[in-house]
Amino acid sequence: MSRATQAASDAGRRAGQIARATPRAIGRLLREALETAWGAIVRTAAALEVWLLDSKKSLYGIAVTRMVLGLTGIGLLLTNFSTRLYTFGSGSAWNGEAAEPVSDFPKIWIFSLFDSVRLDDGPFTVLYLALLALAVLVTLGWRIKIVLPVYLVMWVSFIEMTDAVGDQGDNMYRIVLLILLFADPAARWSLDARRRRRGGDKTVLPREISTLLHNLALVAMATQVFFVYVSGGLYKAGGSPWSGGYAVYNPLMTERFGTWPVLSELIVAWGPAVTIASWGSILLQIAFPFLLLARPTRIVGLIGIMSFHIGIGVLMGLPWFSLAMIGIDFIFIRDRTWRHIADRVRASYGSPERSDNPEVAQTAT
């Protein structure tokens, strides 16, 4: 056999071996890839199960959220008390909402309580004071599983009466109150927590179910915050005032939102600062969920978003909207940080440092 024939035969044999080995190699690679992917799915599911069921997360953050939302309600009710009848009651009949409410909530029987007495000053004031008392109880965390649902119903009944004086903060406030019904917002820093430490509170649901509901409520609350920030940032990016870098200027120069004219003029006096604030707010809102993934960027994100809300509250005269949003953002601060802050405050007043028993929180719902 010639060398050429031998070489051709060897080449054909090698080609046949490669042809037979290739499907097996591809099958092995696919099998290994599927096994790796399945293993990752199993590990992720196991980690998620542990996270959801082993303990309640962000107990201090949700407790602070509860207190800040309660204080927001107290602040709004107290600052509007002297003008309550003109803004919400019989004096607001001129806007036509007593006859035909703009919002659909007063048309739902469970949320129609305030609307049914809005033209009767006496009963309206009694309900107004009752709502104020409930806001105080929510802040203190007293019998929260009973008080919070009642407060939610009465608050929605009250705040949705007059659409003209509402803002988007009312929607977020209502949504978070609803989510808190499934969480344990009084496990820390509340009268309920003190009663639990004394052993006087009995559980209704099994610990696993209570923990699961709490953590799912936390996820729902965080998801709602992400939707609000990211969708708001994307919406801004599509508008010419924001993309042009002058959107911050416009509301500060209006009579309605330019509540501090001298301060507003000082803020917008330097054009680059207006552009930085306009573009920076877009980037901050869109990037906020991703900034929370690592501690250093989380600090930057939280400081940035809270400064953003403080600016809105001070410069645009929307303090209760800003306070509510800041209170909701507190869920992203770790419990370790809240305990450290509490210990520092106790130490500054000469009280011994004390860490709450982590098992106390398992007696919720």
Q: How many helices (H) and strands (E) would you count in the chain?
A: 16, 0
Which amino acid makes up residue 292?
Answer: L
Q: Which of 31-35, 56-60, 182-186, 328-332 has the lowest mean pLDDT?
A: 31-35
For residue 161, give every residue at least 6 positions away whose Cβ sits within 8 Å of its Cβ, in sequence order, or none: 88, 92, 97, 101, 103, 106, 114, 115, 118
Q: How confident is the model at residue 140 (pLDDT cuts 50, 70, 90)?
A: very high
Q: What is the pLDDT of residue 40?
A: 86
Average pLDDT in the chain: 87
Q: With a cut of 60, say whether residue 281 has pLDDT above it.
A: yes
Q: Where are the alpha helices (DSSP H) in 160-270?
A: 168-180, 191-197, 207-237, 240-243, 249-252, 261-268
Q: What was the pLDDT predicted at 147? A: 97
* For residue 20, pLDDT beyond 80: no
Q: What are phi and psi of 100, to 5 degrees?
A: -145, 90
- Comparing C-alpha atoms, which of 309, 303, 298, 304 is closest to residue 336? 298
Angle at alpha carbon of residue 260, lines to 257 and 265, rounded to 5°: 95
pLDDT tens, position by position, 335-357: 999 999 999 888 888 766 555 55
pLDDT for residue 262: 84
Question: What number of other Cβ atoms are within 10 A of residue 332's Cβ?
Answer: 19
Cα angle 144, 146, 151; round to 5? 80
Residues 272-285: what's their mean pLDDT?
Answer: 92
Residue 90 confidence (pLDDT) above 60: yes
Higher local confidence (pLDDT), 13 or 297:
297
Residue with the bigger pLDDT between 233 and 267: it is 233
State yes or no: pLDDT of 80 exceeds 80: yes
**What is the per-residue pLDDT for 18?**
64
How far from 321 is each of 66, 169, 288, CA to CA, in Å?
Answer: 15, 5, 19
Helix axes 207-237, 271-291, angle to 10 degrees: 150
